[in-house]
Structure 1
Amino acid sequence: MSGFLVFTDLDGTLLDHSTYSYAAARDALRLLHHHGVPLVLASSKTAAEIAPLRAELGYPHVPAIVENGAGILEAHAKAGEDRGDYLEIIAILNALPGRIRACFEGFSDWSVGEIARHTGLPAEEAARAAARQFSEPGIWLGSDEELAAFEAELAKYGLRGRRGGRFYTLSFGATKASRMAEITARARPAPITLALGDAPNDREMIEMADYGVIIKNDHGAELPALDGEAQGRVIRTDLSGPAGWNRAVIDILSPHFGAKT
């Protein structure tokens, strides 16, 4: 083991926002594998989506954070079938006053074809994205005032909404950062953590890490200054997506391994 533990967002970070390719990050991925650095995928994606990607990247033995932190896909586990949380979320959502409910369109409102259109995923992968267990992503169509009323109604049931790079997601409140703390606490000895992301739902994870990286986001609002940025513990990339991810991982980790780039 290297002594490091890397946590990464996927869409717009390790994966290109439009093509979902990680090709531009191959050099850094090779560096991680060479030095035995575990890579924890932390995404809004479902377990059904993350399990094959985790295996493809060569990390089936490492837990993954799924559905924006609403759940964990344990090491070597396959996507589960328990949808209890998700069905409860949909029931709460559909019980909201009609005027407020109409301002939110989620995956449960869309066909697989519509999910494919909103995400840019092929139909087979869109079907995996629909296999939700813990959270409901969607699009907010109302005003800021209506959003405040929507969130106040959700809070009565313990639900909260969070903005990601692409969608606004409803869950019972666990976050990428809380799951990051949980997974880090399991590691012995305590690892040095690196976290990378590009969206508001990555903020706490990036701030919590020993090293944090804000990946340039060409498709959304720039994150405000984060804790640790003024001290250099959190940095921003000039390149977006996997190209920025690749450069940041190499620049941060290579000095610790004596690697040349």
Structure 2
Amino acid sequence: MPFPERNRPARRAAVTGKNVPPLVVFSDLDGTLLDHETYSFEPAQPALDALKTRGVPLILASSKTAAEIADLRGKLGFADCPSIVENGAGILEPADGVGDREEDASVHDRLIATLDALPLRLREHFSGFSDWTLDEVAERTGLSRTDAVRAAARRHSEPGLWWGDEAEREEFIALLAERGITARQGGRYLTLSFGATKADRMREITSRYVSGRKRPVVLALGDAANDVEMLEAADLGVVVANPHAPPLPELDGENAGRIVRTEKPGPEGWNESVLGIIEELDGS
């Protein structure tokens, strides 16, 4: 079991109550639930099946767009759950059978206009999805061209690559912050957006699963810097090993055993951790 025995009493008290799921899972995608190279979630299928059987909501939390997540969420079998899109800048509500709706792109347009107004000596060092052709998006992400179309359908944020030095990067981020834009480093990309974070959206969505004083255990899984706030705000956090990126620094909650790290990477580590937590909750 991945978490210390001493944590169990608090969790047992939290999961009682009619119509309140015992657990709500918030998960990053790339490098966490999805393999860093292949984007496959197959190794996590046993844990996904266990969540579905127990009626546990799986809330995807990613820098991916609504168009990307809607398709993936359906394949995972959790289309009835909301999702956090574009690094917390938006929420994709559960599917209602009506079909996809075109989202307003005005926020993204304003973001790009603000980015383009920065000094050229800084702007030229940031290369985002909106600067790339669809073929370039496909090549740099490893996605098919069809999936690249979904990835490029930005409505709230702009992921990209930084090519300058660290001092210029800090100046770039500071100037964006003065204009209300946050920059968060993920496993692959530096993502720019206005407003909310994954952790903000996690709190907002968790409130939907609370009934009176009864609330579920909140589990968060992630692998990158843009997951840290979410991991630290959850009841339980799992840092999923990502051999393709430097490890995260020690997080608040690790000493107490509230946050743990996997040894196995990606969906293999995800699967092992989630199954262990389900086993522990089933036995409490």
Question: 2:43 matched to which residue of 1?
Answer: 24
The aligned amino acid for 2:71 is: P
Q: How high is the TM-score relative to the length of structure 2?
A: 0.89
Hey, what's the Cα distance between the residues in 1 that align with 2:130 and 2:71?
Answer: 23
In structure 2, the residue matched to 1:83 is: 105
Q: 1:79 to 1:240 in 2, by over 3 A?
A: farther
Greater Cα radius of gyration, structure 1 or 2: 2
Q: What residue number does 1:182 align with?
A: 204
Q: Does residue 214 of the first structure (1) align with residue 236 of the second (2)?
A: no
2:69 corresponds to 1:44: no
Residue 79 of structure 1, CA deviation: 5.0
Q: Where do residues 1-261 of structure 1 align in structure 2 (5 Å cutoff)?
A: 2-76=21-95, 78=100, 80-189=102-211, 190-258=215-283
Counterpart residue type for residue 44 of structure 1: S
Higher relative contact order (CA 8 A, sep 6+): 2
- Segments ≥4 residues shifted beyond 2 Å: 77-81
Secondary structure at the aligned position of 2:218 is classed as strand
Deviations 1:166-208 (A, max 9, x none): 1000001311000001101121232110000000000011111
User: Per the alignment, in what secondary structure is the counterpart of residue 183 of structure 1?
Assistant: helix
Letter of the structure 2 residue corresponding to residue 244 of structure 1 = G
> Which is worse superposed, 123-132 or 150-159?
150-159
Q: Distance in 2 between matches of 1:110 and 1:133?
A: 16
- CA-CA distance at 1:95 after TM superposition: 1.1
Q: Provide the C-alpha distance between the structure 1 equivalents of 2:206 and 2:277, rounded to a whole number of angstroms.
A: 19
Residue 10 of structure 1, CA deviation: 0.3
Deviation at residue 81 of structure 1 after TM alignment: 2.5
The amino acid of 2:281's aligned partner reads: H
2:159 partner SS:
strand
**What percentage of aligned pairs have identical amino acids?**
55
- Runs of 5+ unmatched residues, structure 2: 1-18
Equivalent pair of 1:47/1:79 in contact (CA under 8 Å): no
C-alpha RMSD of matched pairs (Å): 1.2
